[in-house]
Structure 1
Amino acid sequence: MKIVSMDTFLVPPRWLFLRIRTDEGVTGWGEPVVEGRAETVRAAVAELSDYLIGEDPLRIEDHWQVLTKGGFYRGGPVLSSAVAGIDQALWDIAGKVAGLPAHQLLGGPVRERVRMYAWIGGDRPAEVAELAAAQIEAGFTAVKMNGSGELTPIDTPARTREVVARVAAVREAIGDEHDLVVDFHGRMSTAMARRLLPLLEPYLPLFVEEAVLPEHSPNLAALAASTSIPLATGERLYSRWDFRDVLPTGIAVAQPDVSHAGGISEVRRIAAMAEAYDVAMAPHCPLGPISLAASLQLAFAIPNFLIQEQSVGIHYNQGNDVLDHLLDPAPLTFAGGHAQRTTRPGLGIELDERAVERAAELGHRWRGPIWRHPDGSFAEW
C-alpha cells in the first residue's frame, strides 16, 4: 500500500482538514491546524508531503520520526500541528486496514465511555450561571468557563471580586454534584494568580486551566504549593520534551492537543509520562470533528484520562458546527455527558467528502482577536 495523494481543505469556521488517499482505496482523515495560522500549517503539510507520497502509510512511527526530525529544525506549533494531522490520518488508515478502531491498536479500551465537558460563555464571560444550568439540564456533568476577560498584571480588587462572583454563581447554579473548570487562558500574571486562586478555593473547581502563560511554567511549582486547586496546563506545549519540565512542578492535569502536540502517537507518549507523575489527562480540543474523534480514540486507551473537552455549539462555530460534515453524527453524539465507545474502524467517523469540499470553496481567514488594556497596551487573549 502506498500514499498517492494528500489534500487539505480550509473548512469554516477555523479548521483545516487533511485527506490522505492510498493506491488501495483506503482514505484517512486528519486535522492539522493552528487556530489563526491555518494557511501556514497547510504549507507545512504540503512540504511534508514531498516525503510521504509513495510511502507505506502503515509505517506510522517511522514517519513520525522522519517528519519531526528529518528537517533538522524541530518543534514549534506549526510543524508539530502539521505532523499531528498527518499522524491522525495515518492512524485512521491503519484502523480501516485492520478493521479496528484506533484505540484497539493502541492496546485496547480501558473504559467504555468518556466523560465530556461543555463550554459556557464566551471570551468575556457574563451571564454564565444560566448557561451552566442549561448544560447540566442537557446532561453534562461538568462545564468550563473563561474566568475573566483581560486582566492587568495586578488588577483591582473590583476585577478580582468580579471573577470570584462569576465562579460562585456557576457553582451555585450547578450544585456540588457537578464539576466546574475555570480557564484563564494565560491572562493572569503569576502575582495575580497568587492573589486570585486562594479566593476560588471555596468553590472547588475540578481544575484551573492556564493560570499563567506557558513561558512562565517555571512558576507553576510555587503556584501549586500555594493553592489546593488542581492546576492544568499544556494546550500550548507541543511534545513530550515540552512536558518534561512541566510535569514535575505539581500540576494535576496535562492538556496536550492531539492536533497540536504531534498527533495520536505523541499524545499517547505524553500520557504515559504524565502517569509517572500522577498527573491526569484532559486533552485540549476546541476544534472540529476529526480532532475530537482522534481525542476520543486516545481517551478510550489511556488509563490516566480525566475528562475531554469538546466544542459542539461553542461560540466560534456559528454557521458551521462540529457535526455538520459527518455522514453519521452518532460517534460524536453524547448521552448523559459521555461519549460511548465506538467499534467503527480508524478514528470512528465518516466524513461527507462533498460537504467538506463545498465548505472549502468558502474557506476562511480566521484570526484570534487582539485585545488591549485601557492604556492601549497589548492584553492577553
Structure 2
Amino acid sequence: MKITAVKPFVLNAGIFVKVETDSGIYGMGEAGMKRRGRAISEVVNSMASDLIGEDPFRTEHLWQVMFRGGFFPGGGVQTSAVSAVDIALWDIKGKALGVPVYELLGGRVRDRVACYPHNGDPHRIEDLLASCRKSQDAGWKFVRWGLVDPKGKELLEPSRAVRYGIEQVRAVREELGEEIEILVDLHTRLDPAASIQFCRGVEPYRPFFVEDPIRSESA
C-alpha cells in the first residue's frame, strides 16, 4: 500500500486532512488548532511530496520525516499539520487491519471516563456560582471555567485576572463544599510568574487541575 494523495480541507468546523492510498483506503485527521487554517493547509501541502509514494503503515518514520525533516524546528502551525496527517495515517492502519485504532495503541484501558461541564459567564462571580450550583444539582462532580479579566472581555490584565481568579475559586469552594472538583483553564494567557502566583493562591482550595497554565514556549 502506498500513499497517493494528501489533501487538506479548511472548514468552519475545523481543519481536516485526507490521506488517500492506492488500495482505495483513505484516512481522515483533524488539526487541533482551529485558527490559521490557510497556514496549516499550506504546511500540509508542503509535506505532501515527502509522503506520496510512502507506506502509510510507517507512522513513526513518517512522523519523524514531517516533524524533523526541516532544518528549523516547527511551531504550533507545523505541529498541528503533522498531527492531522498522523491521525489520518493511524486511521488508514486501523481500517486496513479491521480494528479500532485504540487496539493498535495498547487496547482498551477503561469502560468509562469522567466528563465535566463548562460553566456560565465567569465575568461575574454571582453568575459563575449560579452556574456551578446548577451543575452540582444536576449531578455533575466537576465544574469548570476559564480565567477572565473582570473589567472586560477584549483584554486581560494579568495581575487583576489572577486576583479575580483566586477569588472565584475560593467562592466556588466555599459555596459548593469539599466534594465538588474544581477545574480552571488559564488558556495559556499568563507568563510563568503570574501562573505561579495563581497556582499558589488557589492551592488552599484544592483545585482538581489548572489547565494550560503557561504558553508552550515558556515550558
TM-score by length of 1: 0.49
Contact 1:130/1:173 (<8 A) preserved: no
2:153 paired residue number: none
Show the counterpart of 1:162: 164
Indicate the residue corresponding to 2:76 in structure 1. Answer: 77
1-structure distance, mates of 2:57, 2:138: 40
CA gap of 1:46–1:195, structure 2 versus 1, over 3 A, is: closer
Aligned match of 1:145 = 145
1:25-82 CA deviation, whole Å, 9 max, x = no partner?
Answer: 2221101253321110110001111122232211111111111222333332122111
SS of corresponding position for 2:96: helix
Range with greater deviation from structure 2 (171-180 or 42-51) = 171-180
CA distance in 2, matches of 1:19, 1:216: 33
- State the AA in 1 paired with 2:183: V
What is the aligned-residue RMSD (CA, Å)?
2.6
Q: Aligned residues: percent identity? A: 36
Instruction: Give the alignment of 1:231-310 within 5 angstroms.
Output: none
Which structure carries more relative contact order (alpha carbon 8 Å, separation 6+)? Answer: 1
> What is residue 272 of structure 1 aligned with on the other side?
none
State the secondary structure of the residue aligned to 2:92.
Answer: helix
Alignment of 1:1-381 (within 5 A): 1-13=1-13, 15-121=14-120, 125-126=123-124, 127-136=127-136, 140-149=140-149, 150-152=156-158, 155=159, 161-172=163-174, 174-217=176-219
1:216 and 1:81, CA in 2 relative to 1: closer, same or farther beyond 3 A? closer
| Cα distance between partner residues in 1 of 2:191 and 2:4 | 49
1:125 shift after superposition: 3.8
* Cα 1:206/1:67, change in 2 over 3 Å: same
Closer, same or farther: CA 4–137 of 1 in aligned 2, 3 Å:
farther
Give the letter aligned to residue 3 of structure 2: I
Decide whether aligned partners of structure 1 residues 121 and 10 sit closer, same or farther in structure 2, where only a CA change above 3 A counts: farther
Q: 1:160: Cα distance to partner?
A: 5.3
Aligned partner letter, 2:79? S
Give unpaired runs (5+ residues) of structure 1: 218-381
Largest Rg, 1 or 2: 2
CA distance in structure 2 between the aligned counterparts of 1:81 and 1:160, rounded to whole angstroms: 30
CA distance in 2, matches of 1:20, 1:64: 14
CA shift digits 1:211-261 (9 cap, x unpaired): 3444443xxxxxxxxxxxxxxxxxxxxxxxxxxxxxxxxxxxxxxxxxxxx
1:33 and 1:209 map into 2 onto residues whose CA distance is 16
With the length of structure 2 as denominator, give the TM-score of the two structures.
Answer: 0.81
CA distance in 1, matches of 2:45, 2:140: 39
Distance of 1:173 and 1:100 partners within structure 2: 47
Aligned-partner Cα distance in 2 for 1:108–1:60 = 18
